[in-house]
Amino acid sequence: MLLIDLAGYELAQEEQELLEHPLVSGLILFTRNFHDKAQLQALIKSVRQRVKKPLLITVDQEGGRVQRFREGFTKLPAMQSFLQLDRLQLAQEAGWLMSAEMFALDIDLSFAPVLDLGHCSKAIGDRSFGEDVATMLPVAEAFIDGMREIGMATTGKHFPGHGHVIADSHLETPFDDRPKETIFNHDIQPFKQLIAKGKLSAIMPAHVIYTQCDSQPASGSSYWLKEILRKQLQFNGVIFSDDLGMKGAGFMGNYVERSEKALQAGCDLLLLCNEPDGVVQVLDNLKYQPTSTQKERHLSLMKRKQISWSELTASPRWQQAHQQLATLQDQWLEWKAQNA
């Protein structure tokens, strides 16, 4: 149930042993694991060959400022650009291309899309498609449709909405003091409507405390995950915790306590990044046995399609989308500079 990270360009023996631990389900890759495409492919191949169990290999390859692999990959624009620059038709191509490029590297899942409303949050900013549900939802859904077309599982984040807190949950625990009615009538709507359409394979809750609803961060709140997400919204997919190494998760205690609270609240899979000692503490001290349903949910996120990089980049669709998205990225950077 734990997704961990790696220190560098190659898989160390100690990391292999951690990945083989029965409580470890997969890993998440970062920019520090990427030198070039050949090295990255070699790293992933080494992981697949040396660890003798199905591992979920993941990354944050959203686009914009959250794109872990850049050199040799399509420059993906920030999600805000599709609405702001009136290029809505490119959203589906972006979802398809991003997913296809990850599949070509033997990566199962990119944590996307961001469904937070608004751009004021330091942690979210232009990662958000927009501020208004009616206008952003068709664009987000098009991006999702592109991901689903190639076969990648989709992860809506950060439930029930991270877009209206200024504080960055990477650095502190944010508090959202707005009325419960505002959150349910506004922020939660993208999640609610996409769940109803069966478009989300997974959900990642926020390390935010919604003070008018519950005393715990959503990532460790049975109210948000069991009562609202599972019962009220009827979501049956995977619930990821956001990174439990983030300062925003510190409200829930040490790493073992954070993991226990997230699991008790209803998370299926936990991210714990940039804290190797914390990973060891959790694996040594956490007493947990995943259910058969959780195991099935985990396996449901594995990619089902094999595609080579040469095959992908030779396709006319990739070539056209690659050029269009790179152009949009340049236009977006120009727009931001003019409106800074």
> Residues 99-112: pLDDT tens digits?
999 999 999 999 99
CA–CA separation, 241 and 88 (whole Å): 30
Tokens 């206008």 locate to: 135
pLDDT confidence of residue 247: 65
Is 120 or 162 the better-scoring residue by pLDDT?
A: 162
Tell me the catalytic residues: 170, 242
Q: Does the structure show a pLDDT above 70 at 232?
A: yes
Residue type, 43: L
Closest CA to 202 of 101, 298, 100, 59: 298
Is cis: bond before 164, omega within 30 of 0? Answer: no
pTM as predicted: 0.94
**pLDDT tens digits for range 280-328:** 999 999 888 877 887 777 788 999 889 999 999 999 999 999 999 999 9
**What per-residue confidence (pLDDT) applies to 296?**
79
The pairing of strands 61-63 and 66-67 is antiparallel
* pLDDT tens by residue, 164-194: 887 666 667 789 999 999 999 999 999 999 9
Phi-psi region at 57: left, alpha or beta (left = phi > 0; alpha = psi -120 to 50): beta
Query: Is the CA virtual torsion 150, 158, 59, 53 positive or negative?
Result: negative
